Structure formats: structure tokens, C-alpha cells
Structure 1
Amino acid sequence: MALIGRGLSRGHQLLAYTRPCLVSCTRITMATTAKEEQDQFWEKNRKLNRPMSPHLTIYKPQITTMLSITHRATGIALTGVLYAFGLTMSVLPGDFATYLALVQSWSVGPALIGLTKFGIAWPMAFHTLNGVRHLCWDMGYGFELKNLYTTGWFVLGLSLAVGIGIAAV
């Protein structure tokens, strides 16, 4: 440590390397704000008659787009339901068996029970199967257009079958 201090005091190599940085570093102020930059951008586009960027609403829906949106939505929904259920069960008095007995006392019909089971099983099955499809893409497989559509329809059909199968049990 003493050697470093001695080197700095004598103006040796360490100070020689740091001095240009200390001298040349100055504060740079922005000439325009972000709002002014944005206004200039849109004014330039208006003058050149450039069209605005197309929005999703003008495109024809494709299976790949719909599956991507559904994959994200099911992931968000499953996460939200899992956290809400966990937090609710940790705050409410009693245990899970108490609330299961309460739901059984409502005497709902088998159609509503099957629909509820399907509503829980299908997002889980779809998100899992489509996640496997995405993992295959991460490994570099299935990027040909024909494979994209084939695997998309396969994931959709298989997830519906799995959801119906679980709901029927």
C-alpha cells in the first residue's frame, strides 16, 4: 500500500495512466430531451408521408401467433392462480380439507365439476406441451414452416385430449 502511495505522490506510472482520464472526463449535457427527439421523429415521418408501423389488428391471425399469445397467457394465468391459491390458503383459518368439504357440500352437478376440472387441466397441459415445443426450437429443431404448423396443431389437439381426459376421470 505504501508503494502505491509513493508512486502516486511522485507522479509515476499509476498517476500517468489515470491523469488523461481525469483531465479529459467532462460532463456532457444533452442537446434535446427525449420528448423533443420523439416529436422530431414523428414530424420527419409526416413530412415524408411514411405510414405508421402496422399494428397487430391488421394482420391475419396465424396458428403460430395464437399459440404464442396463448402460451404467454396460460403461463401468466397459472402463475397468478398458484400464488393466489397459496396466499389465500396461508391466510384463511382451517386447512385444505375444510374447504374441500365446503365445496362438496354445495352439491354442484357433474357438468360443472367436469368443466372446472377441464378449466384447470387444459391450461396446464397446453403450457407444458407448448413449452416442450419451445425447448425443441431452442435446440434448433422444427423451424421449417410446415413443421411449425404441424407441431402447432399437434400441441393444440393433444392438449385438448389431455384436458378432456383429465376432466373425465
Structure 2
Amino acid sequence: MINIPTSILCRLGARSAISRSFGTSVVTKSEAKTPIQKFGWEYLKKQRDMKRPIAPHLTIYQPQLTWMLSGFHRISGCVMAGTLLVGGLGFAVLPLDFTTFVEYIRGWNLPCAVTAVFKYIIAFPIIFHTLNGIRFLGFDLAKGVDNIGQVYKSGWLVFGVSAVIALAIVINSCQNKSKAVKTA
């Protein structure tokens, strides 16, 4: 008679022997590569040995006004959207409103030069994004894109007008602040 524990041991031993033989003959998915995967892997190793980055970086391109203004337009839009989202949620959650916040900042009695810098940092992206958006709408209507010289002129115009308008806003607010201090 066959003992039950012996039969269990035989079955387990047979299973482990079978699994061991299959385990060594089966190619794992990480080892099985198509020819294009082998080429790609070898290419990446060669690039890494030459100390090259995996993907091209902005530093290899010569800065041009066209892509710099386009990038700043996207960045300014994202920053403004994030600021509105965080500010809106913040004022919804916090026990104060915008006017209370502004009065709190005014209570610090910062000099006009300090507030002017912050006002310019806030005003310039808003004005630039607006004017450059109008410029891009013109591009969508195929106005001014047929000549690269016109594209550069409109880019410099948007950048310069944005800087001048932002500066005018800051100067006007500082003059209004000094008038308010004199009358008080």
C-alpha cells in the first residue's frame, strides 16, 4: 500500500521538477526583444556612453523671439489660471475677503518702490498675455504670418507695449498713493 504522505510528496516533487525544467527553458518577457528594441537599446547605451541626454534640451537650440514669446504666453496663462484657482479657493475657505487682504497688505506700510516691483510683476504678464493673445488671434486669421519679419516686428511690438503699459499702471498707482497720503 502506498502511504498518503508519500503520494503527496511524489506529486509535489514531480510538479517542482516540471516547473524547474520549464522555468529554465522559458524566455522571460524582459529578455525577449524584437530587432527594433535591440537597436533602440543599443542606441540608448551608445548615447549614454557619449554623455548625451536622452531627449533634446532647450539649451541646444538658439533662442529665438518666436518660441520665447510663445512659451512665455503659455507660462503666463498657466500661472494666471493657477493664481485665480488658488486665490479663489483661498478666499472661499479663509475667513477674509479680498478687500480685507488688500488692507492687511497696506497695513505693512511698504515703500512705493517695493510695491511697484510687485505691481509690475503682476501687471506685465496680464497685459502681455492679453496683447499676445490678440496677436495670436491675428495669426489664426492668417494675418501677418506670411513674412517672418512681420512676425518679429509684431512680437517686439507686443513685448514693448506690454512693458510700457505695465509701467504706466505702476506709476499711476504710485502717484495715486502719494496723493492719498498727502490728503490724509
What one-letter code is carried by the residue in structure 1 that aligns with 2:156?
W
Q: CA deviation at 1:134?
A: 0.6
Measure, in 2, the Cα distance between the counterparts of 1:36 and 1:158.
57
Corresponding position of 2:148 = 145
Corresponding position of 1:42 = 40
**How high is the sequence identity, in percent, across the aligned residues?**
37
Corresponding position of 1:26 = none
Q: CA deviation at 1:43?
A: 4.6
Deviations 1:33-59 (A, max 9, x none): 9x956734525757xx9x987443211
Corresponding position of 1:165 = 168
**Would you say 1:130 and 2:132 are equivalent positions?**
yes
Q: CA deviation at 1:100?
A: 2.0
Summarize the Cα distance change of 1:59–1:113 in structure 2 as closer, same or farther, 3 Å threshold: same
Q: Which consecutive residues of structure 1, in runs of 5 or more, have no partner in the other structure? A: 1-31
TM-score, normalized by length of structure 2? 0.65
- Out of 111, 114, 117, which is 1:112 matched to? 114
Deviations 1:107-143 (A, max 9, x none): 1010111111111110000001111111011001111
Measure, in 2, the Cα distance between the counterparts of 1:127 and 1:57.
25
Summarize the Cα distance change of 1:42–1:90 in structure 2 as closer, same or farther, 3 Å threshold: same
Q: CA deviation at 1:165?
A: 1.0
Corresponding position of 1:82 = 84
Measure, in 1, the Cα distance between the counterparts of 2:133 and 2:102.
31
Measure, in 1, the Cα distance between the counterparts of 2:143 and 2:38.
44
What one-letter code is carried by the residue in structure 1 that aligns with 2:37?
D
Measure, in 1, the Cα distance between the counterparts of 2:39 and 2:77.
36
Measured on the aligned residues, the alpha-carbon RMSD in Å equals 2.8
**Which of the pair has the greater relative contact order for Cα pairs under 8 Å at 6+ separation?**
1
Measure, in 2, the Cα distance between the counterparts of 1:43 and 1:64.
35
- Structure of higher CA gyration radius: 2
Q: How many residues align?
A: 136
Measure, in 2, the Cα distance between the counterparts of 1:131 and 1:86.
24
Q: CA deviation at 1:147?
A: 0.7
What one-letter code is carried by the residue in structure 1 that aligns with 2:140?
D
Measure, in 1, the Cα distance between the counterparts of 2:94 and 2:88.
10
TM-score, normalized by length of structure 1? 0.70
Summarize the Cα distance change of 1:95–1:136 in structure 2 as closer, same or farther, 3 Å threshold: same
